[in-house]
Amino acid sequence: MTTSSTHIAALLPATAKDLVLEKRQTPSPGAGEVLIRNHVIAINPVDWKRQTWGFRISAYPAVLGADVCGIVTDVGSSVTAFKPGDRVFSLAHSFCSGNNDHGAFQDYTVTNAAATGSLPKDISFQQGATLPTAVGTACMALFDVLDLPRPSIKKHASQVDSSSEPSPLSPTSILVWGGASSAGSMTIQIARLAGLTVFATASERHHAYLRSLGASVLVDYHSPTVVEDLIAAAERAGTQISHAVDTISAPQTLAPVVQILSRSTAANKKLAHTVGWPADLPKSDNIENQWVAADDLWERRQDLSVWLYNEAMPEWLEQGDIMPARYRVIDGGLSGLQGALDELKKGVSGEKLVVEV
């Protein structure tokens, strides 16, 4: 396919400054990489945090963003899974590499083939853009931090992958705090495919939607009895909540999650959190907790990345086993990214913000 020699990028000129549009040289993919002509870009909370605080930015100007969806225009050496013209979604990795070619907020992005998935024809670019970070976070939480057995990717996935058999300590249920977030909704769906009973918290207006994705029990996190409600629900279901994923990971969410896990009599208790542990929140000696590090998908857990993006997600999407998150388009293309960041910083619930380019 024909690729422009230059393209437009939304650049961050300095910490806490607004994005500016400028031309950049369009790169060529290296070994194991693909070049994607972006059609839709999604925004994540980490994007506004990086803009505001300079988090994980080594030099300016910087191209932010991780979630892209579009068409492959070129592939690097050793890439056999993709070809020019393929519709794909991908987890861009400038967060890890520091290379602006790997940022999402531009017309063309170079990404790792190992973190790229084929997009079924019935899934739109807008839907596809909601997937990369959300599914990566969910799978790192479930299958790396919590070390749960992976579900099958065969048709009508309902059994545990034979290469990842459950141990006697594997839980039968899981708590997902922040179920309406994009990472939360993906964690619910993938945990359901792994055969787990899913307990989740979310505002009441999201309960029906999250039940449709596979959550068995929903509790409003605003409830003053949320801890007791979840423990009672687990008792009624004949299980204990010993494993949890907190997709919000603020002090006010981690504290009740720790309370719930502490009340479990299970010997093996684990908590996956998506940001660093708050300095003023005590940890429990009986709960193994670990930060979900998305950049491990490009480094330490590339095996999980290949399984997830190249193999599992395209099949699950094709079968309808996984539904993309709800989204809202912010007008203006690349020019609309700053407004999307500002809106996300104020707070968005139950939907992913995307821009079309």
Residue 158 has pLDDT above 80, yes or no: no
Are 192 and 283 part of one and the same domain? yes
- Residue-wise pLDDT tens digits, 250-300: 999 999 999 999 999 998 999 999 999 999 999 999 999 999 987 788 889
| pLDDT: which is higher, 294 or 35 | 35
Neighbours of 154 (CB within 10 A): 11
Total domains in the fold of the chain: 2
Residue at 1 is within a domain: no
Are 204 and 333 part of one and the same domain? no
Q: Got the DSSP string for 112-163?
A: EGGGEEE--TTS-HHHHHTSHHHHHHHHHIIIIIS-PPPBP-SSS--SB-TT
Are 278 and 151 part of one and the same domain? yes
Residue 141 has pLDDT above 80, yes or no: yes
Are 110 and 153 part of one and the same domain? no
Residue at 261 is within a domain: yes
Residues β-bridged to residue 41: 68, 355
Are 119 and 141 part of one and the same domain? no
Residue at 300 is within a domain: no
Report which of 137, 97, 100, 132 is spatially closest to residue 118, judged by C-alpha positions. Answer: 132
pLDDT at residue 133, rounded to an integer: 96
Instruction: Indicate which CATH number applies to the domain containing 121.
Output: 3.90.180.10
Question: Residue 165's pLDDT band (boundaries 50, 70, 90)?
Answer: low
Residue at 302 is within a domain: no
Residue at 314 is within a domain: no
Residue at 316 is within a domain: no
CA distances from 243 to 226, 239, 310 (A): 17, 12, 27
Are 280 and 172 part of one and the same domain? yes
Report which of 158, 148, 237, 240 is spatially closest to residue 187, judged by C-alpha positions. Answer: 148
Report which of 66, 54, 130 is spatially closest to residue 93, judged by C-alpha positions. Answer: 66
Residue 305 has pLDDT above 90, yes or no: yes
Answer yes or no: are the C-beta atoms of 3 and 73 closer than 8 Å: yes
Residue at 340 is within a domain: yes
Are 118 and 146 part of one and the same domain? no
Question: Residue 215's pLDDT band (boundaries 50, 70, 90)?
Answer: very high
Domain end call among 258, 275, 295: 295
Residue 157 has pLDDT above 90, yes or no: no
pLDDT at residue 138, rounded to an integer: 97
Are 74 and 169 part of one and the same domain? no
What's the mean pLDDT when you consider all of the chain?
A: 94
> What integer is the mean pLDDT of 326-346?
98
pLDDT at residue 152, rounded to an integer: 85
Answer yes or no: are the C-beta atoms of 237 and 254 closer than 8 Å: no
Are 97 and 117 part of one and the same domain? yes
Question: Residue 68's pLDDT band (boundaries 50, 70, 90)?
Answer: very high
Express as a percent the part of the chain with pLDDT over 70. Answer: 96
- Residue-wise pLDDT tens digits, 318-334: 999 999 999 999 999 99
Report H helices in the chain. Answer: 45-53, 94-97, 125-129, 132-140, 182-193, 207-213, 226-236, 251-262, 302-305, 313-319, 337-346
What six digits make up the tokens of 58?
A: 């080594």
Residue 237 has pLDDT above 60, yes or no: yes
Are 197 and 270 part of one and the same domain? yes
Are 139 and 122 part of one and the same domain? no
Residue at 307 is within a domain: no
Q: How crowded is the C-beta side of 138, counted as CA atoms within 13 Å?
A: 31
Answer yes or no: are the C-beta atoms of 265 and 247 closer than 8 Å: no
Domain hosting residue 212, numbered range: 135-295
For residues 19 and 224, what is the distance between their CA atoms, to the nearest angstrom?
41
Instruction: Indicate which CATH number applies to the domain containing 238.
Output: 3.40.50.720
Residue 156 has pLDDT above 60, yes or no: no
Question: Residue 168's pLDDT band (boundaries 50, 70, 90)?
Answer: low
Are 143 and 289 part of one and the same domain? yes
> What integer is the mean pLDDT of 60-85?
98
For residues 285 and 185, what is the distance between their CA atoms, to the nearest angstrom?
29
What six digits make up the tokens of 62?
A: 């910087």
